[in-house]
Amino acid sequence: MVPMLYLDPENVLASGTQRAIYRHPTDPEKLVKVLRDIPLTTGRARLATLTEKYFPHIRKRWARKEYQEYLRLMLGPWPAPIHPPISHMYGFVQTNLGLACLSDAVLDNDALGTTLKSKSAAGPLTSEDLALLNDTIARLYRYDVRAGDMTARNFVFGHRQIGGVQGPRECVLVDGFGDIHAIPVRSWGRFFNRFGLDDGCKRLAHRTGLTWDPTSRQFSL
């Protein structure tokens, strides 16, 4: 298949164990997330690496789960318009580096927004950042989002672009949503998913130095 989009491998913005992230070359509102080759997936658990080597279709599972969750959210029984706490998804595109998915960019002064992990490492969150994080957490519960990987690096602070206009500053879960577990307990219903969100928030608090209140389901310093 002829690539529809050409990316410069030297212009990678960020990379994880699964994907390499690039700015869209013609659309500043979007990011291009390319699935990384197996030889590049360093730092992973040995079992995960071996499983993906012998069952390569598993590497595509994250994409299916993400899009299923995004569609479930956007087509859900919520009063419109909704304010998604997760990235908008814009489909797939073939690039010269491989198949990629498109999502909206969370930016800060034309650079990628700052992750919760970076902010926590730099010191206590500001009251504004804490409020933005808690607002996102509240919407994850309100919209019953299945977030299977709520790590600090997946929460990003910045602005989304809306029709060429900079949107308000917010905290966005840019990755890690979807019921990615082998036994999809979170998909059994809202009751089970809330247990998963509670556990994810408790772990997030432990890793960032925040305090999690399971009653109010909010963080504090």
Grade residue 72 by pLDDT with cuts at 50, 70 and 90: very high
- State if pTM tops 0.85: yes
The pLDDT-based confidence of 154 (bands split at 50, 70, 90) is very high
**What tens digit of pLDDT does each residue of 79-97 get?**
888 999 999 999 999 999 9
Residue 166 covered by a domain: yes
Whether residue 3 lies inside any domain: the answer is: no
Residue 171 lies in a domain: yes
Q: Quote the mean pLDDT of the chain.
A: 88
pLDDT at 195: 94
DSSP string, the chain: ---SB---GGG--EE-SSEEEEE-SS-TTEEEEEEPPGGG-TT--HHHHHHHHH-GGGGGHHHHHHHHHHHHHHTSSPPSSP--SB--EEEEEEETTEEEEEEE-EEETTEEPEEHHHHHHHSSPPHHHHHHHHHHHHHHHHTT--BS---GGGEEEEEEEETTEEEEEEEEE-S--B--SSS-GGGG-HHHHHHHHHHHHHHHHHHHT-EEETTTTEEE-
Encode pLDDT of 97-113 as tens digits: 998 999 999 999 888 99
| 13-26 residue pLDDT tens | 988 777 899 999 99
Give the domain CATH number at 105. Answer: 1.10.510
In a domain, 30, yes or no: yes
Percent of the chain with pLDDT over 70: 87
- Residue 4 belongs to some domain of the structure: no
Whether residue 194 is contained in a domain is answered as: yes
- 23 lies in which domain range? 9-220
Mean pLDDT of 29-47: 68
Q: Per-residue pLDDT averaged across 37-46, rounded?
A: 53
Does 60 map to a domain? yes
- Pairwise pLDDT comparison (159 vs 164), residue with the higher score: 159
- What is the domain count for the chain? 1
* Residue 125 located in a structural domain: yes
